[in-house]
Amino acid sequence: MTSSELVGRHKELRALSDAIDRAPEHGAAIVVRGEAGIGKSALLGRAADHARGAGHRVVRATGTEAEARLPFAGIHQLLGPFLDDADKLPALQRRALASAFGAEDAPSPEPFLIALAALNLLTEISARRPMTVLVDDIQWLDRPSHEVLAFLARRIGSDPIVIIAAMREEHAGPFAAVCLLELRLGGLDERAARELLEVTAADLSAADRTRILRQADGNPLALVELPAASRSVRGSVVEPVLSFLPLSARLEEAFGGRIVELPAPTRDALLIAAVDHESVVAEILTAASSLSGHPVTVGVLDAAAAAGLIRFDEVSLSFRHPLVRSAVLQTESLRRRLAANAALAEALADQPYRRTWHRAEAIVGPDDEVADELDAHHVLSMQRGAVAAAISALERSAQLTTDSARRGRRLLLAAEHAFGLGRADLVDRLLALADGNALSELDRARREWLREIFHDGVPGDAARVVELCDIAQRSARAGDDDLALNLLLGAALRCWWADTGPAARARVVAVAEGLDDVDGDARYIATLALAETVLRSARVTELLSRVTVDTVTDPAAMRLLGMAAMAIGSPVASLDFLDRAEARLREQGRLGLLSHVLNMGQVSRIELGEWEQAEMAAAEGGQLADETGQLIWNTGTLAYRAVTAALRADNETAQRLADEAEETAAERRLNCVLSVVQRARGTGWLTAGEYGRAYDSLRRLFDPGDPCHHSTASFHGVMDLAEASVHADRRDDARSVIAGLEELTSRSSSTTLRVQLSYAQAILADDDHAEALFTAALNQDLNRWPWPAARLQLAYGCWLRRHRRGTESRIPLRSALTTFDQIGARSWADQARAELRAAGERTSAKGPSALGLLSAQELQIARLAAEGLSNREIGDRLYLSPRTIGSYLYRIFPKLAITSRSQLAGRLEAV
């Protein structure tokens, strides 16, 4: 398009120019949306001119329908010029990028690790010179590249990078979903349309221009191309037909009219270019020669260029507009399109991956040889981290497969890979396709597992749990214990998230314990823990005690072991496993599982008193759960944020977050999350001094008939229930609850229950027994339990002072106050200060904590910087760019009243 075709786009040009001009201060991601021919490409071209004038480095990529199956093709277009700089990346990221581009054989990299490598490479380049990234027709970019761009869009706010992508109106995708700025291009107004038409159709009559103006409806490409079509068809029967077609079809017809007039060799070359994934002239001419049956030279392209259909040089060829490619394909017959793909496959003998795809596109009906090749190539896609391409290969392979059982198996494998992407919609579609095939018994079992993995606990359906157990048992009998364990873990998760009743839980355990030689499998241990959190807790504790650092290295297994320890109420052991899993998952870029680990870690960190770490985990874990599309885990994070707000005496925030979490948890009947929500409500009212409301809220946790009841999640509310009962004069009812929990201790090895009960028993005891209970409780090993220990010290100090033993009371009260101030338990710290003053000791108010000065993410970055990590190392850990880390530190320093990195550790310790 010429510059004149940007008539009427001043507002949009200004928005893009402003974003480019602001890039040295902060980056931006923008999507330009509109129908075909509305001027998106022209707008990107003008943005490129402005960026170059502003001193930016401009990089471009264009998506094409034919290229959508080629993994990371779009990102390769963008990063190709900078791959020499990839040597500066950390080794894991460098290998991941090389593997994605097929330059190195390496274990399958995680997509997020590839995305992090792309982020670091672009930020490294942009540090030397601002960068504008332009992506045309992003809707046709291969899925892995599209997701990398979405990852970048979330993280370039502090980098001198602007990403501008053009997208067709009717399409969606991950990039558009995360962009804060969207420019929607509509048709030109009548004045601008007439102005453009005066340039493109000055030779036509007023009647012709009026008709074209009406047909174009403000579309700039139509205002350029319909006059040319009108000249070529004037007086023919084609003209009235065009006016009744949709605009895109009219434009394709306009281009198609020129295509049919071209010489046969030129049409052959255009057809090859239209079905090709690449734009290499030599490759196109070689395949065109095969299609024509005689040599085709570069000269045949001149006619297409003269007709305004393509641009080319000695290296590459591009279509004038994507609609030209569509017009070529619409104009040619199916037989010709199949022949073109066959000719291209023949020309790609040295590129087996692309050759196989074009062979697949060259046939109609089954072909087992090509199907087997596609199946083999899906493994290559997985090795490159291109899961979406692997899924496409398996699905097309299934379409070409004659044997029904093999066809179904390939579709199930594709669905399994789709689960790894978090694509529930794709899993469901592939399973529906697989259902129509003659699946073996094991494949039917695998289908049920795949149906289950997105529905853990939605709702707590006992019949479904039993069904899964039956299928698992049949799988084990057929010799597939691995599949049996996967099915049982899915059944156990249903039991954990929602109430399935004792019979269903017992069935899960019975089938699991019937398997041979699985004691060391993390899935087996997690299954026992999640299904029977009380009755099998001693057995799970024993199995966990056998696990050493050397025996488990897979972070996914560590995650399950941490989940098992969390489920039975062993927070110290849980964090030991989860912290190891977190480090490895970060390193491998497995952000979906990392969100699980961060979420589960909150449970134990809150219980022990590591509240700052819990809030940092909530901030990051919630973002990752949202980014990876994991609703249950995101809801859980929200619920635990409500708990920490309540513990910090921010009742208003606690109640608001509890309301938000309850909306999803109640809809899906997630007892586990509802229990956390109700605990947040009760604790919020407790710190607000509304003791009656607090007790009523917390009491629901211990009613087996209440939706908020959960067998072990309720254990975390025992201390708050007891404290609320004392202030609300509800001791007798609370004692009845505690008596029931005491009976559970003979069957449960939960340390959470034991520690929480020790507090409740002491503060609810009569004076004759209280001191002995306080002493016994404080003599427990509470080295890693500062929060319960401090509450015990506070309660004991209060008891001593009330019994006129003020001097003795000061020691536990001082210790409690120190801990409360350190962890930010403001309500309890105020109580400790008041008790110390009443005991005759003067105290001063504590200054603001680090978390009071900084956001959770700022605190996380500050702590990592204080440990000596560089901006790059912090960025790699948190999946942010080094410059973003620098921007955070720039804001952190004045908040902490420091001027240098070397002061961080001391200042954090001081506050």
Of 63-77, 143-157, 562-576, 661-675, the least confident = 63-77
3 state SS for 355-375: HHHHHHHCCCCCCHHHHHHHH
Confidence of residue 108 (pLDDT cuts 50, 70, 90): low
The DSSP call for residue 182 is E
57 membership: H or E segment, kind and range: strand 57-62
Q: In this model, does residue 451 exceed pLDDT 60?
A: yes
Domain 851-910 matching CATH 3.40.50.300: the answer reads no
Instruction: Report how far residue 347's alpha carbon sits from residue 5's, in angstroms, rounded to the nearest whole number.
Output: 39
Confidence of residue 78 (pLDDT cuts 50, 70, 90): very high
Instruction: Report how far residue 869's alpha carbon sits from residue 860's, in angstroms, rounded to the nearest whole number.
Output: 12
Q: Mean pLDDT across the stretch 477-499?
A: 92
459 cis-preceded (ω within 30 degrees of 0): yes
Q: In this model, does residue 735 exceed pLDDT 80?
A: yes
Instruction: Report how far residue 866's alpha carbon sits from residue 576's, in angstroms, rounded to the nearest whole number.
Output: 23
Q: In this model, does residue 776 exceed pLDDT 70?
A: yes
Mean pLDDT for the chain overall:
89
Confidence of residue 647 (pLDDT cuts 50, 70, 90): very high
Percent of the chain with pLDDT over 90: 59
Please, are residues 540 and 519 in contact by the beta-carbon 8 Å criterion?
A: no
Q: What pLDDT, on the 0 to 100 scale, is given for residue 877?
A: 87
Tell me whether strands 57-62 and 310-312 are parallel, antiparallel or unpaired: unpaired
Q: Which residue has the higher pLDDT, 635 or 228?
A: 635
Q: Sign of torsion, CA 579 580 582 587? A: positive
Which residue from 516, 514, 513, 534 is spatially nearest to 525, judged by alpha carbons?
A: 513
Q: Which residue has the higher pLDDT, 847 or 543?
A: 543
Instruction: Report how far residue 51's alpha carbon sits from residue 20's, in angstroms, rounded to the nearest whole number.
Output: 6
Q: What pLDDT, on the 0 to 100 scale, is given for residue 250?
A: 67
Domain 533-756 matching CATH 1.25.40.10: the answer reads yes
Which tens digit of pLDDT belongs to each residue from 293-303?
Answer: 999 999 999 99
Q: Which residue has the higher pLDDT, 855 or 480?
A: 480
List, edge to edge, every strand of the sheet that includes 161-168.
57-62, 131-136, 161-168, 28-34, 181-184
Of 117-121, 129-133, 600-604, 845-849, the least confident = 845-849
Q: What pLDDT, on the 0 to 100 scale, is given for residue 848?
A: 58
Which tens digit of pLDDT belongs to each residue from 248-281?
Answer: 666 777 777 789 889 999 999 999 999 997 889 9
Q: In this model, does residue 229 exceed pLDDT 70?
A: no
Q: In this model, does residue 377 exceed pLDDT 50?
A: yes
User: How many CB atoms lie under 10 A from the CB of residue 52?
Assistant: 13
Which tens digit of pLDDT belongs to each residue from 197-217?
Answer: 888 777 777 877 887 787 777
Q: Mean pLDDT across the stretch 838-854?
A: 72
Q: Mean pLDDT across the stretch 568-585?
A: 94
Q: Is 630 helix (H, G, I), strand (E, B) or coil?
A: coil
Q: Mean pLDDT across the stretch 11-28?
A: 93
Which tens digit of pLDDT belongs to each residue from 347-376?
Answer: 999 988 889 989 999 999 899 999 999 999
Q: What pLDDT, on the 0 to 100 scale, is given for residue 5?
A: 46
Confidence of residue 834 (pLDDT cuts 50, 70, 90): very high
Q: 3-184 belongs to which homologous superfamily?
A: P-loop containing nucleotide triphosphate hydrolases (3.40.50.300)
Q: In this model, does residue 3 exceed pLDDT 50?
A: no
Q: What pLDDT, on the 0 to 100 scale, is given for residue 852?
A: 66
Q: Mean pLDDT across the stretch 424-441?
A: 89
Q: Which residue has the tokens 């503060």?
A: 763
Distance set, CA 676 to CA 365, 505, 710, 717 (Å): 55, 21, 9, 9
What CATH fold (topology level) applies to the domain 370-439?
1.25.40
Report residue 61: phi and psi, to 5°: -145, 150
Q: In this model, does residue 768 exceed pLDDT 70?
A: yes
Which tens digit of pLDDT belongs to each residue from 780-829?
Answer: 999 999 999 999 999 999 999 999 999 999 999 999 999 999 899 999 99
Q: Which residue has the higher pLDDT, 192 or 692?
A: 692
